[in-house]
Structure 1
Amino acid sequence: MLANRISYWMNVTGPSFCIDSSCSGSVVALKLAQDAILSGQFQQNSDGKTKCYDTNADGQSLSESVSVIYLQKYKDARRVYAQLCHVETGYSKGLDEEFMVNFGHYRDPEKISKFLSSFYDDAAHPDTDKAELQAFEEVFCKERTNPLLVGSVTSNMGFTKSVSGLNGIIKIIHGYQTGVLAANLNCDNPRQDVAAIRDGRIKIVLSKYVSGLPYLVTISSRQESGVERVLNNIKNNNLDMEELALLREVYKMRTSNHLARGFGIFASDINNKTETLCEKVGSYDEIKRPLWFVYSGMGSQWTGMGVQLMRIPIFAAAILRCDKVLKPKGIDIVEIITSNDEKTFDNILNAFVGITAIQIALTDVLLAVGLAPDKMIGLVSSQLPFIKGSMAAVGLGYKEISKLCPPEIAVACHNGPDSSTLSGPAEIIQKFVQELTAQGIFAKEVKCANIAYHSQYIAKAGPVFLKMGQAIVKTPKLRSKRWLSTSVPVEKLKQNDAMYSSAEYHTNNLLNSVLFEEASRMIASGAVLVEIAPH
């Protein structure tokens, strides 16, 4: 404290501290002063602004910070801001002369790259800025299509020395929870001496970047007015993460005689005001309704369908598990579900693996919040083209549309009493769609990559598909009783081929119509249906 008071009184900058080294104290002080200059500790900027990643960066502004992170076991946590998976540092050596010269403020980009690569495999000095950006470029941007957003907490609060690491972690956690990344202040001209900045793979965040994360809140009460009161309180105030955590804890268990229930999905806008994305309140009896998961089929894919979902840790973890399986096959599932390229799903393989991966990950999310299905039902999909085919969705049930279809067209999917999917040669499908539309009947072609699924036109694929399936599914497993088949007629469900998840079962899926309407008649009245799809 005495040294700081003296430096303050004399209006001098730089490190100030007391040294006790007997008769050599003055020489030790001289040596430490030299080391501080060589390591850049004296390189204060002239205007008090830390210009991280700017062409005109001219040093730092020192500041102080007290930062606290509360750690506890996941199972005991009432509120999880982030899950700590792995911690490692490559700069924990003592402050000797060699360390200060090599690691003071300058970082060797090759060493940072090696450290970052090793870390992820296991789990505003001008030169410093460039070295950091070069390391980011090497580790995160080799094949990147969407820009890597880079900001700097130092530009907002100054260089806090030993506390900088925690401040960076807190910034990331705050950004993840709120969907807002703080702007990189004092960066009027981002430096252009890093290739990834010039070609757009790295983007310096120059203004507040907002990408709101929605929050689901479920409430119960004896009366609807009680539910409405809680939801209105959320809507009329800024979102409070602790309040939402408390509400989840209170209402996660069923409360007797709480017949009024409701939910809301809320997010924060750019001004941090609460937006209501969806809300519903109603009265319900206490009968436990069966829960059905309904899985979509071909046609539900869309460009960038996984971008926002990847912000959900459970979802992202499931996608990465899929990625480990698909990467050796040359398939980048993360790129498929996050790419903004409109031609991504022109490749039918991308559509299949994309939809399936999304459904696997969404199922994990639902299971994590306590929604386990009593039954499952879905549309099925397979591939292998033999003609230039097409498919179309029409607003008539199987019984009606089957009487109108030309002989070349098959009813591929019996979706419901007023919905079917047709399959056949492209030209004939297109002509029939025009005829139905002219009669005032809903009809629209479905994106299917020119493959006429579930029709006679892919019959030749059967033997090939069966052989490939038998090589993969060598020991068929008994299908779960919760799995309701949509490709086997009800009267044949107890036959051996229908009881097992075998190559024969999935070959039958490929070649025959999807009997969704017939299977859905087995859904109990009052059941709750959750569609699991990229919509």
Structure 2
Amino acid sequence: MSTPAEKTGPDRRIAVVGLDCRFPGAPDPAAYWDLLMRSGDGVGQVPDTRWLGADFYSPEGEEGRTNTTEGGFIADPDVFDNEFFTISPREAAAMDPQQRLLLHTAWRALENAGVAPSSLAGTRTGVFVGIMGNEWAQLHLTDYDRITAQVGSGNGYCMTANRISYHLDLKGPSLAVDTACSSSLVAVHLAGNALLSGECDYALAGGVNVQLTPALGIFYTQAGLSAPDGRCKPFSSEADGIGRGEGVGVVVLRRLEDALADGQQIYAVIRGTAVNQDGRSNGITAPNRWSQQEVLSAAYQRAGVEPADVAFTEGHGTGTELGDMIEVKALGGLHNRREKPMALGSVKGNLGHTEGAAGIAGLIKVALALHHRVVPASRFATKENGKLNLTRHGLKLLKAPLRLPAGTSVAGLSSFGMGGTNAHAVLESAPAGAVRPAVPEGSVGVFTLSATTPEALRRNLLAQAGELGKRRVPVGPVCWSSNRVKGGHRVRFALPAADTAELAVKLRQAAEDEEVLGQYAAQPAGRPRTAFFYTGQGAQSPAMTARLYRESPRYRAHLEEADAALRPHLDESVLQLILSGDERVHLTRYTQPALFAVGYALTRTLDELGVAPALLLGHSVGEYAAAVAAGVFGLPEAARLIAARGALMQALPSGGGMLSVPAPVAELRELVDAEPLVGIGAVNGPQGTVLSGDLKALERIDAVLLARGLETKRLQVSHAFHSPLMAPMLERFSLVAEEVGGGIPKLPVYSTVRGRLLRDDEPMDAAYWVEHVGAPVLFAEAAERLFEAGPTHVVEIGPRPVLSGLVRRLRPPAGLRTLHPAQAPRGEEPGLPHLAELLAALHRDGLNPAWDAFYPEADRQALRLAPYVFSDAHRYWSKPVRRNPVAVVEAVAEAPAAAAPQPVSARLTLGRGAGLTGPTAEAVLAAVAQVGGYTVAELNAHSRLYEDLGFDSVMVMELKTRIEKKLALPEAIPVQDLLPHLGSVGTLITFFEERRTRVTVAS
């Protein structure tokens, strides 16, 4: 037997990279697989929320009645997280629940594929939905007095696909498919063709079916097709008809070559599909053997397989006598010459016939079987229907699970529609190339999660904790996958992690403890505006950043780059001094180049991680690395200049020092002026002045200060930096500076020589760097001017945090955060975990780091995380249908009685704003609440009509009319006048108040 791969020409295979589903007895894919593997039964009594079974039931199936009160029903189909999708309660209540279910399922399927749904916005992603029932419309569109714009847009087959495309902003094909029971497999067929033609690069294909009335059950009964116990028994001797089922499923599809190139996990591969029609046969509702056989043959041909290659087939398997017989004969026409019989089964035995969702239910079953390499037993297979002669047709029912052998396994999937549209798909197991290598332990990551509200965040933290607590997976890929998939919502969570088990514990703690959650979660107002503060001399230590060098390949590369640039100008490698922990790093000739190298390497590392400065400030020699960051000169020029500076200072005579004085500079000026060999070395704050100069002169000043009761501190330095004692080196240094040059900064630099922002006509040239040697370091003045530019974060660049303490003493603006990429607890060597903490803090505050740059290639593997857990606080449903008299149903929105209302404004963490009193405000609030389906208490002045309340153009027009009537305005307001004022409820109130006042004055 030839292998399937030998029969494939150009690769036209489609990968199933993600999926999600809800079926009777199975609220998610894991539960679905469990139901299948234990041959579980998802069928039960008709729920009270659907129709009153006794009103429509007759065991004899008399006219107008159904012969069963059982079927397959999903739990809680009325639950919908409308706030997540920014849909107003009024619109949510009018929407077909099939649309709501598909929105939830499509989102979770994309996350399962390792794709952030928001990342597909604007792309040519296609949506293909199979659907054959629209009972919600039957219930709501017949009461003409209650039809609204929302009821109109909330119904219709087209909207099941269009809702997904609209809310995810997808630009590819978007269509609903109704071929009756084969609808969702035909949707998969169309999605695959769209991918292969290049019409889209991602495709969502799915199906949905919700039973709201007994109408189809009555039809099945009257047509002699309904099973009295409500259960399908495929290919069984007990088969006695169809049992209805419901559910929803969505798969995410890509061209196989693209999925492999992106390293996505693959459930299974679709090798080929085919669709045909019975044409004129023995009745429009009757199946046709020859058409079924032809669609099988066409699918095999397109897949490049022989019938003998197919290990098992998920049959249509309705459990009707005629349907089962024709399907077996169609399969037998191609498989009856097999040496080994092909396994056959049907998920309808577990769920019932899910009608428009039947094909997707079967596809997900086959994909999971190929993924787990085991085919579940077929329910009711133990009582095989002998009349089918399965053995003679080369078939066998699975009475026990079938283990698939190593290598490629091929499966078939059939779905046949009442009316004659047949579909078949050939699938195979994921290629060996899709299996990624194992990840070594010991990696570090940042686990990120986002949600629409703090409560939603807690809910999803618990889900992630529960999932990670059950799995042994490396932390690096877990964190990398979370960075890719779990972003996009306004409440952000970020937690550095080095162990998955510990991560699971911390996630649970954060979900359950408000204080812990506050440490790792935030709701940023925008992107951070970051200032880099570069540490000066005094921050050095032996082995500084050595651990980070070992653990971060990016930092290692940039520190080596700086060392290579410095080496021609030094007699030692600063890199080797650092790594060896050599105490000579405290010698000025090495200190200054080493600090520059660390500052340069940290800057470049952060830049590649997506952390770029908006503002720059350097304390003394810190300005050299800041100048390179600002584009004043390149690394080679800066390296030469800083090496010359350190060497020339080291060569100066000893006898100088520096004295830290807790007093304002103005109080010390007289003492300094009296000593020609002493100068102001630095002004670090209102009570932080450093004097620099001759040691004997400093001793005289110190004695005076001690007499005044000031406690001074002698700094451990080799020379009197930034003092008159630097003068002997200036001539030789200026020669190097003239050759190196310098230019205008390309980023704002707050100079500690000038104590302010450098102007556009102030270059950091040779004259500047010469002045820099002896001039006082005006850190406090420069920092205070920088604070006026509105930074949100100060990131200190250096081997350890020194300036952060000075910043806090300057009383910076409220909310300004100070961070350090190598800040570690006392006694702990800073390394990659501390860089991870910096990224986590910035991400919480609105930054989107370049996460790929943080992880080694081995960690960049997609792992499937627990999908988003939607809120179950809101329920939208209809009153049950009664037989006599037929009642007009009314959409109702329900929330659990015990739960406090969850206002939309809670997402903004704002209470009711000012300006919401008076007749105009009351009229506007009442109209907004009425049009959107809110209570007035849920609204505030900051509630945005579009982004928060889910308004659209149709709702805005209705809102305008209602407000005009409530305010009794004499004439309609032109739409173009209103549009600029639709930002929020508050702006709308202001607009109408001005209009109302204008009318009053005019009259």
Cα gap change, 1:290 to 1:338, in 2 (>3 Å)? same
Within the candidate set 561, 565, 568, 1:325 is matched to 565
* Partner in structure 2 of residue 350 of structure 1: 590
Q: Structure 1: how far apart are the matches of 2:457 and 2:668? A: 45
Following superposition, the deviation at residue 361 of structure 1 comes to 0.9
Within the candidate set 797, 800, 804, 1:532 is matched to 797
* Partner in structure 1 of residue 537 of structure 2: 298
Cα-Cα RMSD: 4.1
Q: Structure 2: how far apart are the matches of 1:501 and 1:249? A: 41
Within the candidate set 366, 370, 380, 2:620 is matched to 380
- Give CA-to-partner distance per residue, 1:221-268, whole Å, 9 cap, x none: 3344555677786799686222111122235x6x35x1x344333345
Aligned residues: 325
- Aligned partner of residue 477 in structure 1, secondary structure: coil
In the alignment, is the contact (CA less than 8 A) between 1:394 and 1:444 conserved in 2? yes
Determine if the alignment matches structure 1 residue 411 to structure 2 residue 712. no
* Partner in structure 1 of residue 606 of structure 2: 366
Determine if the alignment matches structure 1 residue 391 to structure 2 residue 654. no
In the alignment, is the contact (CA less than 8 A) between 1:262 and 1:281 conserved in 2? yes
Following superposition, the deviation at residue 282 of structure 1 comes to 5.0
Q: Structure 1: how far apart are the matches of 2:702 and 2:447? A: 43
Following superposition, the deviation at residue 410 of structure 1 comes to 2.4
* Partner in structure 2 of residue 471 of structure 1: 739
- Give CA-to-partner distance per residue, 1:286-308, whole Å, 9 cap, x none: 23342111101011111111211
Q: Structure 1: how far apart are the matches of 2:713 and 2:799? A: 19
Q: Kindly, what percent of the aligned residue pairs are identical?
A: 21
Following superposition, the deviation at residue 380 of structure 1 comes to 2.0
- Give CA-to-partner distance per residue, 1:146-191, whole Å, 9 cap, x none: xxxxxxxxxxxxxxxxxxxxxxxx99x83xx61xxxxxxxxxxxxx
Following superposition, the deviation at residue 331 of structure 1 comes to 2.7
Structure 2: which amino acid aligns with 1:367?
A: D
* Partner in structure 1 of residue 480 of structure 2: 245
Following superposition, the deviation at residue 336 of structure 1 comes to 2.0
Determine if the alignment matches structure 1 residue 312 to structure 2 residue 575. no
Within the candidate set 738, 747, 753, 1:481 is matched to 747
Give the TM-score taking structure 2 as reference length: 0.29
- Give CA-to-partner distance per residue, 1:337-394, whole Å, 9 cap, x none: 22223x2223212211111111111111211121111111111235423442122444
* Partner in structure 2 of residue 286 of structure 1: 525
Cα gap change, 1:527 to 1:391, in 2 (>3 Å)? same
Cα gap change, 1:215 to 1:458, in 2 (>3 Å)? same
Q: Structure 2: how far apart are the matches of 1:533 and 1:437? A: 33
- Aligned partner of residue 767 in structure 2, secondary structure: helix
Following superposition, the deviation at residue 468 of structure 1 comes to 1.9
Within the candidate set 416, 426, 451, 2:719 is matched to 451
Determine if the alignment matches structure 1 residue 222 to structure 2 residue 455. no
Q: Structure 2: how far apart are the matches of 1:331 and 1:322? A: 13
Structure 2: which amino acid aligns with 1:511?
A: G
- Aligned partner of residue 413 in structure 1, secondary structure: strand
Determine if the alignment matches structure 1 residue 500 to structure 2 residue 767. no
* Partner in structure 2 of residue 337 of structure 1: 578
In the alignment, is the contact (CA less than 8 A) between 1:430 and 1:445 conserved in 2? no
Within the candidate set 508, 511, 535, 2:774 is matched to 511
* Partner in structure 1 of residue 231 of structure 2: none
Cα gap change, 1:399 to 1:443, in 2 (>3 Å)? same
Cα gap change, 1:532 to 1:462, in 2 (>3 Å)? same
- Give CA-to-partner distance per residue, 1:315-347, whole Å, 9 cap, x none: 000011122222333331221222223x22232
Structure 2: which amino acid aligns with 1:290?
A: R
Q: Structure 1: how far apart are the matches of 2:754 and 2:499? A: 47
Q: Structure 2: how far apart are the matches of 1:319 and 1:223? A: 42
- Listed as ranges, the gaps of 5+ residues in structure 1 are 1-71, 80-169, 179-212
- Aligned partner of residue 749 in structure 2, secondary structure: coil
Structure 1: which amino acid aligns with 2:539?
A: S
The structure, 1 or 2, with the larger RCO (C-alpha pairs under 8 Å, 6+ apart) is 2
Equivalent positions of 1:13-412 (< 5 A) are: 174=440, 178=442, 214-224=444-454, 240-250=475-485, 255=488, 258=490, 260-267=491-498, 280-310=519-549, 311-329=551-569, 330-341=571-582, 343-381=583-621, 382-383=645-646, 384=649, 385-402=652-669, 407-408=674-675, 409-412=678-681
Structure 2: which amino acid aligns with 1:480?
A: K
- Give CA-to-partner distance per residue, 1:417-470, whole Å, 9 cap, x none: 34333312235546766886897756443333x211111111222222111211
Q: Structure 2: how far apart are the matches of 1:461 and 1:336? A: 25
Structure 2: which amino acid aligns with 1:377?
A: L
Structure 2: which amino acid aligns with 1:446?
A: L
Q: Rg bigger for which structure?
A: 2
- Aligned partner of residue 546 in structure 2, secondary structure: coil
Structure 1: which amino acid aligns with 2:557?
A: A
Q: Structure 2: how far apart are the matches of 1:77 and 1:398? A: 61
- Aligned partner of residue 241 in structure 1, secondary structure: helix
- Give CA-to-partner distance per residue, 1:381-411, whole Å, 9 cap, x none: 3542344212244444434554676844422
Q: Structure 1: how far apart are the matches of 2:793 and 2:733? A: 35
Structure 1: which amino acid aligns with 2:451?
A: S
Q: Structure 2: how far apart are the matches of 1:534 and 1:226? A: 39
Following superposition, the deviation at residue 481 of structure 1 comes to 3.5
Equivalent positions of 1:402-441 (< 5 A) are: 402=669, 407-408=674-675, 409-429=678-698
Structure 2: which amino acid aligns with 1:483?
A: V
Q: Structure 2: how far apart are the matches of 1:249 and 1:227? A: 17
In the alignment, is the contact (CA less than 8 A) between 1:454 and 1:510 conserved in 2? yes
In the alignment, is the contact (CA less than 8 A) between 1:263 and 1:280 conserved in 2? no
In the alignment, is the contact (CA less than 8 A) between 2:750 and 2:756 conserved in 1? no
Determine if the alignment matches structure 1 residue 462 to structure 2 residue 693. no
In the alignment, is the contact (CA less than 8 A) between 2:744 and 2:760 conserved in 1? no
Following superposition, the deviation at residue 503 of structure 1 comes to 1.4
Q: Structure 1: how far apart are the matches of 2:659 and 2:706? A: 12
Q: Structure 2: how far apart are the matches of 1:403 and 1:226? A: 63
Q: Structure 2: how far apart are the matches of 1:248 and 1:437? A: 56
In the alignment, is the contact (CA less than 8 A) between 2:447 and 2:495 conserved in 1? yes
Q: Structure 2: how far apart are the matches of 1:234 and 1:395? A: 50
Q: Structure 1: how far apart are the matches of 2:700 and 2:461? A: 51
- Give CA-to-partner distance per residue, 1:468-517, whole Å, 9 cap, x none: 211333xx3322232222212549x4485xx2232111111112111221
In the alignment, is the contact (CA less than 8 A) between 1:266 and 1:274 conserved in 2? no
Structure 2: which amino acid aligns with 1:294?
A: F
- Aligned partner of residue 522 in structure 1, secondary structure: helix
Q: Structure 2: how far apart are the matches of 1:446 and 1:519? A: 23
Following superposition, the deviation at residue 275 of structure 1 comes to 9.1
Structure 1: which amino acid aligns with 2:580?
A: S
Q: Structure 2: how far apart are the matches of 1:484 and 1:272? A: 41
In the alignment, is the contact (CA less than 8 A) between 1:295 and 1:532 conserved in 2? yes
Q: Structure 2: how far apart are the matches of 1:272 and 1:289? A: 26
- Listed as ranges, the gaps of 5+ residues in structure 2 are 1-257, 266-436, 508-515, 622-644, 801-1003
Cα gap change, 1:467 to 1:283, in 2 (>3 Å)? same
- Aligned partner of residue 288 in structure 1, secondary structure: coil
Cα gap change, 1:339 to 1:229, in 2 (>3 Å)? farther
Structure 2: which amino acid aligns with 1:366?
A: L
Give the TM-score taking structure 1 as reference length: 0.52
Structure 2: which amino acid aligns with 1:248?
A: N
